[in-house]
């Protein structure tokens, strides 16, 4: 399926992205560059990464190669990356963004997200999970509103086209919306059938904020046959009905409930398969089955930050 046939989602600031993107977390050692090169060739024009992933350089190298080959122009592709938790001090935000741009070898990114609403003590750029003598992560109490105001300046400087957040709950998002000059265009959250996030998606939609879904396939483990919604016979039957894989069914479900999924893969066949989810639609019975897997269980609970005042998962959504 070519890039031209993939639907786009519009943002509240007039920009837009493809309704699916390539996730790159844990993709390293050249795998990320190879995956990004293949994804662009297949038709992906939406790539998601982060400073924490330590592969911004690989994404940048792949994008630069495809621009040099004439496959894409810079404005054709949307690159999202994220401000990590140890850069939340307002005076560090511009520095962090410029460091990210240096990693990419680019003049700007399309979207810069605040990766988490809580922050860590700064112990150096490479100390991304700073720990104390007890081995516990050193947390900070920086107000995410102060970090956001520094991020707003990045837009004015032209270092990023847009800004947004990640892992913000309903209360944090509402507070941010009441105190910002530039409205976030995205809230990137963990979202899959076991955590379908329908209430948070509804709130974001109410405020014209796009939800992007990380871990959309729940990190499948063939040996353990987990998560169940990838290996369950009921979902396999839905896939058989449409001549699709269970992964494609799950991605389609997320799209239909209002999220933009970011499936991560470095496998060329899976990268292609994940892209082919716009030529079928699920019916109400399919949705009813997929809804039954919603247990609310998180894959990424980040429990080390649970005592921090900005920890986002102490409320329902």
**Residues annotated within a binding site for substrate:** 115
Q: What is the CA radius of gyration of the chain?
A: 19
Instruction: Point out the catalytic residue in the list 8, 25, 44, 53.
Output: 53
Alpha carbon distance 183, 162 (integer Å): 9
Give the residue numbers of the binding site.
115
Residue 139 phi, psi (nearest 5): -95, 155
Catalytic residue flag (residue 53): yes
CA 130 to CA 85: how far, in whole Å? 10
Two tokens, residue 175: 């507070």
Three-state SS for the chain is CCHHHCCEEECCCCCEEECCCEECCCCCCCHHHHHHHHHHHHCCCEEECCHHHCCHHHHHHHHHHHHHCCCCCHHHCEEEEEECHHHCCHHHHHHHHHHHHHHHCCCCEEEEEECCCCEECCCCCCCCCCECCCCCECEECCCHHHHHHHHHHHHHHCCEEEEEEECCCHHHHHHHHCCCCCCCCEEEEECECCECCHHHHHHHHHCCCEEEEECCCCCCECCCCECHHHHCHHHHHHHHHHCCCHHHHHHHHHHHCCEEECCECCCHHHHHHHHCCCCCCCCHHHHHHHHCCCCCCCCCCCHHHCCCCCCCCCCCC
* Beta strands 78-83 and 109-114, pairing class: parallel
Alpha-carbon distance of 65 to 70, in angstroms, equals 9
Q: Which residues are catalytic?
A: 53
């Amino acid at each position: 399926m070519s890039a031209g046939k993939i639907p786009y989602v519009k943002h509240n600031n007039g920009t837009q992205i493809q309704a699916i993107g390539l996730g790159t977390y844990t993709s390293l050692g050249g795998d990320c560059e190879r995956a990004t090169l293949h994804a662009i060739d297949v038709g992906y024009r939406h790539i998601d990464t982060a400073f924490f992933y330590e592969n911004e350089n690989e994404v940048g190298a792949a994008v630069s190669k495809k621009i040099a080959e004439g496959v894409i122009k810079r404005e054709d592709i949307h690159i999202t990356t994220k401000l990590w938790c140890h850069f939340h001090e307002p005076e560090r935000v511009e520095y962090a963004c410029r460091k990210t741009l240096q990693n990419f070898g680019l003049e700007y990114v399309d979207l810069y997200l605040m990766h988490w609403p809580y922050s860590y003590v700064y112990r150096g750029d490479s100390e991304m999970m700073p720990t104390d003598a007890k081995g516990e992560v050193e947390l900070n109490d920086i107000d995410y509103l102060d970090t956001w105001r520094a991020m707003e300046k990045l837009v004015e400087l032209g270092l990023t086209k847009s800004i947004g957040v990640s892992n913000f709950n309903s209360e944090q998002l509402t507070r941010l919306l009441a105190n910002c000059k530039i409205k976030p265009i995205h809230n990137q959250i963990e979202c899959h059938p076991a955590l379908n996030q329908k209430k948070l998606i509804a709130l974001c939609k109410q405020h014209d904020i796009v939800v992007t879904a990380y871990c959309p396939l729940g990190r499948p483990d063939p040996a353990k046959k987990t998560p169940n919604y990838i290996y369950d016979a009921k979902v396999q039957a839905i896939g058989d009905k449409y001549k699709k894989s269970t992964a494609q069914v799950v991605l389609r479900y997320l799209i239909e409930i209002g999220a933009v999924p970011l499936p991560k893969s470095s496998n060329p066949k899976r990268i292609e398969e994940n892209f082919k989810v716009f030529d079928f639609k699920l019916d109400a019975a399919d949705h009813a089955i997929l809804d039954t897997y919603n247990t609310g269980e998180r894959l990424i609970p980040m429990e080390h930050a649970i005592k921090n005042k900005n920890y986002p998962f102490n409320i329902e959504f």
